[in-house]
Amino acid sequence: MIQLIVKLSRQLGKYKKQVYIAWVYVFIETICEIFIPTLTGWLVNVLKGETVTFFSDNLVIWGPTTDIVLSHVVILGVVMIITAAIAVLTGIGAGFAAAEASAGIGHNIRKAMFYKIQDYSFNNIDKFSTSSIVTRMTTDVTNVQFAYQMTIRALLRSPLMLIFAMVVAFTKSWQLATIFVVMVPFVGFFLFFIANKVHPVFVEIFNKYDGLNQEVQEDIAGIRAVKAFGRQEQQNSKFRSVSEYIFKKFVHNERIIAFNNPLLQVLSYGASLMICYLGAYLIKTYGTSYLSTGDLTSLLTYILMIMMSLFLLSMVYVQCIIARNSGERIIEILEEEPDIKNCDEPVMNVESGTVDFENVTFAYKSNIEHKVLKHINLHIPSGSTVGIVGSTGSSKSTLLSMIARLYDAEEGVVKVGGVDVRDYDIKTLRDSVSVVLQKNVLFSGTIKANLLWGNENATDEEIKRACDMACASEFIERFPDKYETILDEGGTNVSGGQKQRLCIARALLKNPKILILDDSTSAVDTHTDATIRGYLKNERPDVTKFIVAERVLSVKDCDTILVMDDGEIVNQGTHEELINSSEIYADLVKTQMGGGDFDATK
């Protein structure tokens, strides 16, 4: 836990100062606040004409009087106002500093995570999964920030208050202070006991909650199926049973939590009654001067202060347990080492688009035993077009992702332009190798802004050219806002085929030496698919092109076709050669024969 706090606190950066400032303020504020009940006690003593002593019986400020001395009252009033003013100012100061520090640490943690993730390799991203990274960066950071905000002030204030109040109580009467010493640990123990008892149930409840929300999400997504099959009642009863369970657990927890307030009241009422009784008894036994009226009333106020600080401490405690898991998840992100980095003297230029695989073997980190590429050897001359076919899981995408160094080979060497990909500057390499990923994504913003990802300095002319080649300009031009059309997040307002064509255009704008189309035209009709391939062939003859496809049609005209199966290239050759030599390829051709595609896009 402490290690965790230290690690997270490192993220404070320039806000560290604010934490110290907050602490200094809190310290002063607490002392002022502790002093005030004593002052009011003195005031009572002055009003009653009793002796006013400075904590110890030997330090008499004002002796007993028969009448009220107004000047004493005025002096006390001024001191009290000053004390209260200091308390208010330092309190606000502490509040400001704490606000700055906690917002600052949230800001810095978010920033550190985001920056770190930018350095992640595909391997690192695979390890966490995107949804888990998103949760860590949103909910978890918010939890930690909230806990920090509470802790900065309360962690110092509550124990200080507790200790000071006890100390002051002892100076007034050790017999009465003993009441605190007995009751505080007792109540404290129960408060923490309750917090520990209910916390795991809350964790369970919130997991169930996630499950419930998952159900709602599925229901919304599958609302057509639910309605088509008339299954509303079934969905309702499923929902109700989880909902009922959550309700029961909540009530169970509330039954326990409801003890918190009564427990604190036991302390407050019990202690005050005991102080009254014992106080009276002590005065009766040891004489009137033993304990002043003011001391007694101020002790009664201290009870409230102690009660409040105990309560706050237990709340802080709960907040910290909640934040602990979040903190751990954040640290995991920050401590993950990106496993693909530039070498010391990187090559800054890619000469040509030749691609070589020399005995390349690869396995994903998640399943290191299972080699997904086995001893791949391959030589592709610059400017050729390579088709890749094979069933799902035959590692077509994996093979191609090695070229842009999205993953590093476990064994063997991948070369681009005759140079080991690990010797290139990563940015240089990826600028020359343009990958259109299978699971491709467009971002919210205009079409143009999305295309500029490929080359931020591209002119309108170049953009138009790339879109022509990707057969995208025809539909873009039909949108009322053309290139300024705003895409929703994930590009959900364009059809699948349009999305794919935009992605191809974006990749072309990079002017790459190698272009990788990983199943990038699956939603494009066969006619357009052929047109795009034609353009690429004629207008970018020097670019080495890799085309992964399920359709035989898409790869049929390639210079060479690789047939992959289970991480190996089982056959290689032209369409004509493979029909005779490759059983897998021949099968593929057979099943697709006569299978046209009627999902033509206009």
Q: Which of residues 53-92 bind another protein (CB under 8 A)?
A: 67-68, 70, 73-74, 76-77, 80-81, 84-85, 87-88, 90-92
- Interface with another protein in residues 3-42 (CB under 8 A): 29, 33, 36, 40
Q: Is 490 in the site for another protein (CB under 8 A)?
A: yes
Binding another protein (rule: CB under 8 A), the pick from 214, 349, 359, 581 is 214
Q: Is 266 in the site for another protein (CB under 8 A)?
A: yes
Give the x-and-dash track for 418-457 against another protein (CB under 8 A).
Answer: --------xx--xx--xx-x-xxx-xx--------xx-x-
- Interface with another protein in residues 379-408 (CB under 8 A): 391-392, 404, 406
Give the C-alpha separation, 380 to 357, whole Å: 9
Quick one: 1 or 481, whose CB is closer to another protein?
A: 481
Q: Is 364 in the site for another protein (CB under 8 A)?
A: no
Give the C-alpha separation, 293 to 300, whole Å: 11
Binding another protein (rule: CB under 8 A), the pick from 28, 31, 61, 257 is 257
Q: Is 239 in the site for another protein (CB under 8 A)?
A: yes
Give the C-alpha separation, 524 to 475, whole Å: 13
Cβ burial of 349 (10 Å; 0-12, 13-18, 19+) is exposed
Q: Which of 261, 276, 275 is nearest to 307 (CA)?
A: 261
Cβ atoms 475, 490 nearer than 8 A: no
- Number of C-beta neighbours around residue 345 at 10 A: 8
With the CA atoms of 537, 406, 125 and 137 taken in that order, what torsion angle do they form, in degrees rounded to the nearest 10? -80
Q: Which stretch binds another protein (CB under 8 A): 162-170, 238-246, 535-543, 564-572?
A: 238-246
Q: Which of 425, 407, 465, 275 is nearest to 342 (CA)?
A: 425
Q: Which of 359, 378, 361 is nearest to 370 (CA)?
A: 361
- Interface with another protein in residues 269-328 (CB under 8 A): 269-270, 272-273, 276-277, 279-281, 283-284, 287-288, 293, 296-297, 300, 304
Tokens of 580: 């005779």
Q: Is 137 in the site for another protein (CB under 8 A)?
A: yes
137 sits in the region (left: phi over 0; alpha: psi -120 to 50; else beta) called alpha
- Interface with another protein in residues 101-120 (CB under 8 A): 102-104, 106-107, 110-111, 114-115, 117-120
Cβ atoms 469, 503 nearer than 8 A: no
Give the C-alpha separation, 205 to 246, whole Å: 6
Q: Which of 248, 260, 143 is nearest to 195 (CA)?
A: 260
Sign of the dihedral through C-alpha 335, 115, 493, 451? negative
Q: How many binding residues for another protein (CB under 8 A)? A: 166
How many residues make up the chain in this entry?
602
In angstroms, what is the minimal distance from the CB of 323 to another protein?
Answer: 16
Quick one: 58 or 230, whose CB is closer to another protein?
A: 230
Binding another protein (rule: CB under 8 A), the pick from 244, 477, 481, 484 is 244
Give the C-alpha separation, 571 to 480, whole Å: 48
DSSP single-letter state for residue 66: S
Give the x-and-dash track for 561-590 against another protein (CB under 8 A).
Answer: --------------------------xx--
- In one-letter notation, the amino acid at residue 374 is K
Q: Which stretch binds another protein (CB under 8 A): 135-143, 342-350, 360-368, 410-418?
A: 135-143
Q: Which stretch binds another protein (CB under 8 A): 163-171, 320-328, 352-360, 494-502?
A: 494-502
Quick one: 3 or 131, whose CB is closer to another protein?
A: 131
In angstroms, what is the minimal distance from the CB of 376 to another protein?
Answer: 21
